[in-house]
Amino acid sequence: MCGIAAYYGKRSAVPILLDALKVLEYRGYDSCGLAVYDGKIRYVKTVGKVSELLKKSGELPDSASIGIAHTRWATHGRVTVSNTHPHFDCKKRIGIVHNGIIENYQSLKKFLEGRGHKFRSRTDSEVIAHLFEEMLRNYPEEEAFINSVKLLEGAFAIVALYGDKLFLARKSSPLVIGIKDSEFFIASDTVAISRHTDKFIFLDDNEVGIIRDRNLEIKNLDGFDVNKEIKRIKRTEEEIDRGRFETFMLKEIFEQVETVENAYKGRVDFKAAVPVFGGIDFDKIKKFRRIILFACGSSYNAGLYAKYLFDRFFDCHVEYASEFKYADKKISKRDLLVAISQSGETIDVLEALRKYKEKALASLGIVNVVSSSIAREVDAGIYLHAGREIGVAATKTYTSQLLTLFLFWIYLARKFNYIDFATAKRYIDELKKLPGKVGSVLKREMEIKKLARKYVKFGNALFLGRKFNYPTALEGALKLKEISYVHAEALSAGEMKHGPIALVDDRFYSVFIVPHDSITDKVINNMEEIKARSGKIIAVTTKGRSLKQIKRLSDDVIVIPGTKEEFLPVLGIVPLQLFAYHIARLKGLDVDKPRNLAKTVTVE
């Protein structure tokens, strides 16, 4: 999704901005641009990669020490140079970069055109520059900017370059200011600027920032000063380094040995066999009667996994955040809301949280990115501790979500005495074996690569599983779709016979997640149904009494280590991540930045 970078200081702005854009590439984009101020605004824009922008940037003055930059992920208007940010007012005295969507841009544009403004793009963003220009006719700069922001509806993070000053605004879309002496680094994501500083101010909704005369002021929309806390966030070099791996996605798949451990390390009282969540006040949440999990994409799949756990003892619902926020669901002081989001910025999740949180008993966030909007807006947050995920496709954060949700379930089950010490201890003992078991699945990479070679020509795939393995089927299909562009569908294996089985012929293959658990025999029946119709089968299974039968029914088999039923999804997804990865690589695709996708989805 779109990325913003800006700089105000004493060094040459162009290399700092290009470097930040390079880091923001992981979010996904299709064009980029950069503007600096050096007595007047000068700029370059391009469709395509930051490396193209770098080639053009020689046209810009080295002496400019203030500027703005942007990677655009098209929403309003096609991918063209004229639609690429920065956008300008009529006289090119104001340059703006914007993330989000201005929902009332059409009426604003009509009004501004009526006042003689000439537009150069088809974007919603350009209205911001003209609106600021229009306001400057009647108001001093600070008031003009605030008055412009007040007229905008929708979601936005904005940086405007006007003379040798920067004007910032935020509503629902993240914007952070990094501070180092009298230098200011602004970005939509701390990772873009964290090599320069570890001191950050996060702009909150309806706040503006003004940087002028080497000074930063934060104000609310009434023009009053706002005191902001400076947060310290440390960066580790390896976060944006691929190390020995050819892609970030592969590195992140392999990191799961450590991230799985990080998900429970320091969070479990092994003696008492109970997880400890420092931020959660159990006395506050214990009156809940219903748990509502909401999320999007992979995070939703993790939520669905958790539903199978919570359903055992509690009334649990799992919702797509994009549906939930418009659902007008009856929420009461007996509801515990749980927002799940790797980035902590997904707008659908954030807006659903905002809509319901006051009505609910409490809101929790299961989030990876520290200090993200969702982490800051929930009553209590549980971090994944998975480290920055750069690959657009969620991999390590997904398995961390599964385990974090598992720990939260067992925490509640222990607190309410639904699970005794001995049972909990058996789970915790097995938990400690998971990193090693993930490691042994990863050792099968070459075998899985071979399998990818065999199936790379197929244009359709079905992923099938039941109970805890149904979310694994959904997540396996999502991986294949998003990075290798293969049409893949996931179903609960029991649903096949109700229609989708009509699809099956020898041009389809089905991936069955069929480990030895409480439902193996039922899934084997579903495999028979596919086999009877000449469908090809890949089975992901464990050693056990039905292995022979599973092998007989399958064209190919991947054997993963056995574990408790509740942990099978953690191991089961790893070969599917590798399978999708190798299919995509064999097709020569850019797995870290798949087409049309964004890492952080900050538009509806």
Q: Which residues are catalytic?
A: 2, 599
CB of 595 to ligand M6R, least distance (A): 12
| Contact stretch for ligand M6R (CB under 6 A) within 224-232, 335-343, 352-360, 555-563 | 335-343
Of 87 and 599, the one with the shorter C-beta distance to ligand M6R is: 599
Select from 16-24, 276-284, 294-302, 435-443 the region that touches ligand M6R (CB under 6 A): 294-302
Footprint of ligand M6R on residues 483-502 (CB under 6 A)?
A: none
392 scored as a contact of ligand M6R (CB under 6 A):
yes
Q: What share of the chain is helix, strand, coil (3-state, %, to 5)?
A: 40, 25, 35
Tokens of 420: 């005794």
CA 115 from centre of chain: 40
User: In the set 36, 187, 393, 473, which binds ligand M6R (CB under 6 A)?
Assistant: 393
Q: Check if the beta carbon of residue 513 is closer than 8 Å to that of residue 476.
A: yes
In the list 482, 489, 566, 592, the residue contacting ligand M6R (rule: CB under 6 A) is 482
Q: Which is nearer to ligand M6R, 135 or 601 (CB)?
A: 601
What are phi and psi for residue 343, nearest 5 degrees?
Answer: -75, -30
How far is residue 463's CA from residue 449's CA, in Å, rounded to a whole number?
Answer: 18
Closest CA to 116 of 136, 94, 134, 138: 134
CB 536, min distance to ligand M6R, A: 25
- Binding range to ligand M6R, per CB under 6 A, among 162-170, 343-351, 435-443, 543-551: 343-351
Write out the binding residues for ligand M6R, residues 420-479 only, by CB under 6 A.
478
247 scored as a contact of ligand M6R (CB under 6 A): no
d(CA 360, CA 331): 6
375: helix, coil or strand? helix
User: Cα(382)–Cα(375) distance, rounded to whole angstroms?
Assistant: 8
Nearer residue to ligand M6R within complex by CB, 65 or 484? 484
Distance CA 79, CA 92 (A): 22
Q: Of the two residues 178 and 365, which places its CB atom closer to ligand M6R in the complex?
A: 365
Least gap, CB of 304 to ligand M6R (angstroms): 13
Query: What are the backbone angles phi and psi of residue 379, rounded to the nearest 5°?
Result: -70, -35
Longest dimension (CA), the chain: 81
State the nearest-atom distance from the C-beta of 478 to ligand M6R, in Å: 6
CB of 500 to ligand M6R, least distance (A): 22
Q: Which of 46, 83, 259, 342 binds ligand M6R (CB under 6 A)?
A: 342
Question: For the window 197-226, what string marks contact with ligand M6R as x by the rule CB under 6 A?
Answer: ------------------------------
**Window 34-73: residues binding ligand M6R (CB under 6 A):** none
Nearer to ligand M6R, 130 or 479 (CB): 479
**For residue 561, cis peptide bond before it (omega within 30 degrees of 0):** no
If we measure between CA atoms, which residue out of 285, 399, 389, 281 comes closest to residue 344?
389
Q: Which residue is nearest to ligand M6R (CB)?
A: 297
Q: How far apart are the first and last CA of the chain?
A: 11
- Contacting residue, 136, 169, 260, 349, with ligand M6R by CB under 6 A: 349
Q: By CB under 6 A, is residue 303 in contact with ligand M6R?
A: no
d(CA 385, CA 161): 36
Copy the structure tokens of residue 128: 């911001």
- 571, 438 contact by CB (below 8 A): yes
Residue 127 DSSP class = H
The reply on whether position 262 binds ligand M6R by CB under 6 A is: no
Q: Does 296 bind ligand M6R (CB under 6 A)?
A: yes
Beta bridge partners of 489: 462
- How far apart, in Å, are the Cα atoms of 450 and each of 1, 248, 456, 580, 582? 34, 21, 10, 12, 9
Q: According to CB under 6 A, which one of 394, 413, 490, 550 is a site residue for ligand M6R? A: 394
CB of 96 to ligand M6R, least distance (A): 26
Shortest reach from residue 494's CB to ligand M6R, in Å: 25
User: Is residue 87 within 8 Å of 126, Cβ to Cβ?
Assistant: yes
346 interacts with ligand M6R by CB under 6 A: yes
Q: Prior bond to 86 cis, omega within 30? A: yes
Tokens for 362, please give them.
Answer: 């409490």
Tell which residue, 514, 115, 586, 176, has the closest CA to residue 345: 176
d(CA 96, CA 121): 13
Of 192-200, 337-345, 448-456, 517-525, which part binds ligand M6R (CB under 6 A)? 337-345
365 to each of 120, 206, 378, 465, 504, how far by Cα in Å?
41, 22, 6, 28, 40
Which range binds ligand M6R by CB under 6 A, 82-90, 273-281, 310-318, 391-399? 391-399
> 89: helix, coil or strand?
coil
Q: Tell me how far apart the alpha carbons of residues 546 and 558 are, in angstroms, rounded to a whole number.
A: 14
User: Partners of 470 in the beta sheet?
Assistant: none
Q: Is 299 in the site for ligand M6R (CB under 6 A)?
A: yes
Is 400 an interacting residue with respect to ligand M6R (CB under 6 A)? no
Quote the least distance from Cβ 276 to ligand M6R, whole Å.
24
Cβ closest to ligand M6R, residue 83 vs residue 299: 299
Residue 564: phi and psi, rounded to 5, are -65, 150
Q: How many residues bind ligand M6R (CB under 6 A)?
A: 16
Query: Which window, 142-150, 194-202, 267-275, 338-346, contacts ligand M6R (CB under 6 A)?
Result: 338-346
If one asks whether residue 601 binds ligand M6R (CB under 6 A), the answer comes out as yes
**Nearer to ligand M6R by C-beta: 342 or 400?**
342
Q: Closer CB to ligand M6R, residue 53 or residue 478?
A: 478
Candidate list 33, 86, 174, 297; residue touching ligand M6R; CB under 6 A: 297
Whether the CB-CB separation of 378 and 339 falls below 8 Å is answered with yes
Cβ atoms within 10 Å, residue 332: 11
CB of 470 to ligand M6R, least distance (A): 17
Name the minimum Å distance from CB 456 to ligand M6R: 20
**Minimum CB distance to ligand M6R smaller for 36 or for 461:** 461
Q: Which residues bind ligand M6R (CB under 6 A)?
A: 296-299, 341-343, 346, 349, 392-394, 478, 482, 597, 601
